[in-house]
Amino acid sequence: MTSIIFMGTPDFSVPVLKGLVEKGYEVKAVVTQPDKKVGRKQKITKTPAKIAAEELDIPVYQPVKLSGSSELDELIAMNADFIVTAAYGQFLPTKFLNSAKIAAVNVHGSLLPKYRGGAPIQYSLINGDKETGITIMEMVKKMDAGDIYAQKAIEIEPDDTAGSLFEKLSYLGRDLLLETLPKISDGSVQKVTQNEEEVVFSPNITKNQERITSKMTAQEANNLLRGLNPDPGAYMMVNGKRFKVWKAEVADESTDLEAGSLVENKGRFAISFANNTVLNLLEVQPAGKKKMPIQSFLNGQASKFTVGEKIIDD
């Protein structure tokens, strides 16, 4: 039986892990990030990969840093055929990568060399791409720079968010990995070297990137909020207060109002953006409130706004 050490952390990794087990691979261990304190009550929360591993009765390792840890020596001693990673979240020591008898393989959520880094799915939406996909690649010490074993693309739908794309790509990644591992084992796969001139990076999202401003077009604003939904979410400053926007649509109209102005607040909440574009807000979360459909917000707040006034603070 082909043996695997699996490394993953978020929901994205769970279908991949379960797929390996269901296909009959021997998963000797699951390595995931340490449990974290979450929410106002700071409740200790297990990673999705850990929860799945415990359900599957697979030993779990959670080193704060794998390099130099006692866990590293234990994992190397397992002498696994494959190391498989899917959104693990740490760099792996070279001696660990080299310990795989056949290969160390990564399931990456983009069509490399585009979007190397920690947030490929988010950037595909933020940048308005029409497609994304999965890359099965050989792991090397340099981030997401290994040779490509296989790729498969999917179309990005107009209503896709980071959440929906993560789910779609996790299953696509599972299927492509299970299709590719036997080819790596028997040597029939043809690796492709990445073109370094085409590399695009996708570093982790920072707090400064979460803010929608009126300098954006309506399409750019909509792309941003889709890329940051469900986590961490995008916001704008409306009359001095933080105002999260979870869902919107680009209106099929233009306006002469100054960017950041209220276009309409009866039946819809429409705001002007750069290049005379208009964005209809559909689901919002005012400061201190829960998410709500825009009609619920308008029922209590519409009278506080005047059409034509600038409401977005940049």
HEC letters along the chain: CCEEEEEECCCCHHHHHHHHHHCCCEEEEEECCCCEEECCCCEEECCHHHHHHHHCCCCEECCCCCCCCHHHHHHHHCCCCEEEEECCCCCCCHHHHCCCCCEEEEEECCCCCEEECCCHHHHHHHCCCCEEEEEEEECCCCCCCCCEEEEEEEECCCCCCHHHHHHHHHHHHHHHHHHHHHHHHHCCCCCECCCHHHCEECCCCCHHHHECCCCCCHHHHHHHHHHCCCCCCEEEEECCEEEEEEEEEECCCCCCCCCCEEEECCCCEEEEEHHHEEEEEEEEEECCCCCEEHHHHHHHHHHHCCCCCECEEC
What pLDDT digit, counting tens, does each position of 23-51 carry? 999 999 999 999 988 877 888 999 999 99
Query: First CA to last CA across the chain, in angstroms?
Result: 59
The domain covering 218-313 belongs, at the CATH homologous superfamily level, to Formyl transferase, C-terminal domain (3.10.25.10)
∠ CA 265-260-217, nearest 5°, is 110
Which residues, including other chains, have CB under 8 Å from residue 282's CB and lie 6 or more apart?
Answer: 247, 248, 249, 293, 294
pLDDT for 43 equals 86
Domain 3-198 and domain 218-313 have a common topology = no
Global pTM value:
0.95
pLDDT for 84 equals 98
Residue 124: both structure tokens together: 């595909």
pLDDT for 61 equals 98
**How many Å apart are CA 164 and CA 230, to the nearest integer?**
9
Q: Are 106 and 139 in contact (CB under 8 A)?
A: yes
Peptide bond into 48 cis (omega under 30): no
Question: Known binder of ligand: residue 214?
Answer: no
pLDDT for 34 equals 96
**How many Å apart are CA 112 and CA 199, to the nearest integer?**
8
Question: Known binder of ligand: residue 125?
Answer: no
Q: Are 312 and 273 in contact (CB under 8 A)?
A: no
Residue 97: both structure tokens together: 């990568």
**How many Å apart are CA 53 and CA 68, to the nearest integer?**
24
Q: Which stretches in the chain have pLDDT values below 50?
A: none
Question: Known binder of ligand: residue 230?
Answer: no
pLDDT for 122 equals 98
The chain-wide mean pLDDT, for the chain, equals 96
What pLDDT digit, counting tens, does each position of 287-303 carry? 999 999 999 999 989 99
**How many Å apart are CA 18 and CA 86, to the nearest integer?**
12
Q: Compute CA 108 distance to the chain's CA centroid, rounded to the nearest angstrom.
A: 10
pLDDT for 71 equals 96
> Which residue's entry shows tokens 């040779």?
147
pLDDT for 300 equals 87
pLDDT for 284 equals 98
Domain residue ranges in the chain: 3-198, 218-313
pLDDT for 314 equals 87
For the 3-198 domain, the top CATH level (class) is alpha beta
Question: Known binder of ligand: residue 93?
Answer: no
pLDDT for 88 equals 96
